[in-house]
């Protein structure tokens, strides 16, 4: 219960922190750093589940569930850091020139993550694997369109 309340508190704070109307970044560079940090954490928490999805590591329902809960918190973070005038890093110009496409890509990711959350909470391994794959696809498809190749 305590843990759950903590998670809600964190989610509440993040909602406040990610409200676009708040002036959050003093410099464009700060926004770039912030979104790249958030993406790096998302990549870590998503990537660590890959061996389980690939059946290279055992399925631990509770670990997956906890990890997906962390991912849900992280998933709300990056988007407010793509405000006007924050071009830079690996972000392609299309993020700003095709804002509706970028938003659509975010929404697809959010929807896929919602399905992953349902599967993880249900402790359903097969559903987890399918939903995990779909989230990975949504990451890749957004990166293909909106992230500069390294
Ligand atoms: C990751 C990560 C991504 C996605 C993507 C899935 O772990 O860092 O960008 O998965 O590679 O296709």
First and final CA of the chain: distance in angstroms?
43
CB-hemisphere CA count at 13 Å for 58?
4
Q: Is 51 near ligand 1, meaning CB less than 6 Å away?
A: no
pTM: 0.86
Low-confidence ranges of the chain (pLDDT < 70): 1-23
Give the pLDDT confidence score for residue 75 in this predicted structure: 98
105-121 pLDDT, tens digit per residue, is 999 999 999 999 999 99
117-126 pLDDT, tens digit per residue, is 999 999 999 9
Q: What are phi and psi of 149, to 5 degrees?
A: -70, 140
* Nearest CA, atom 11, ligand 1: 140
Mutate to test the pocket of ligand 1, among 43, 113, 138, 142 (most ligand atoms within 8 A of CB): 43
Go through the domains of the chain in sequence order and give each one's CATH number. 2-146 (1.20.120.10)
Give the pLDDT confidence score for residue 21 in this predicted structure: 46
Report d(CA 34, CA 131) in Å as an integer.
27
* Nearest CA, atom 10, ligand 1: 136
Give the pLDDT confidence score for residue 9 in this predicted structure: 64
Q: Is 27 near ligand 1, meaning CB less than 6 Å away?
A: no
Angstrom CA distances, 29 to 33, 50, 85, 149, stand at: 6, 31, 10, 19
Q: Is 132 near ligand 1, meaning CB less than 6 Å away?
A: no
């Amino acid at each position: 219960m305590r843990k759950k309340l903590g998670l809600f508190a964190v989610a509440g704070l993040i909602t406040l922190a990610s409200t676009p109307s708040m002036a959050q970044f003093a410099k464009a560079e700060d926004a770039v750093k912030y979104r790249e940090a958030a993406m790096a954490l998302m990549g870590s928490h998503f990537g660590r589940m890959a061996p389980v999805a690939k059946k290279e590591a055992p399925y631990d329902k509770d670990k997956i569930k906890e990890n997906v809960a962390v991912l849900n918190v992280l998933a709300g973070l990056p988007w407010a850091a793509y405000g006007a005038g924050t071009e830079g890093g690996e972000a392609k110009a299309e993020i700003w020139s095709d804002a509706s496409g970028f938003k659509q890509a975010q929404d697809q990711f959010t929807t896929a993550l919602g399905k992953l959350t349902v599967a993880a909470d249900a402790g359903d391994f097969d559903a987890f694997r399918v939903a995990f794959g779909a989230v990975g696809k949504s990451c890749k498809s957004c990166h293909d369109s909106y992230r500069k190749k390294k």
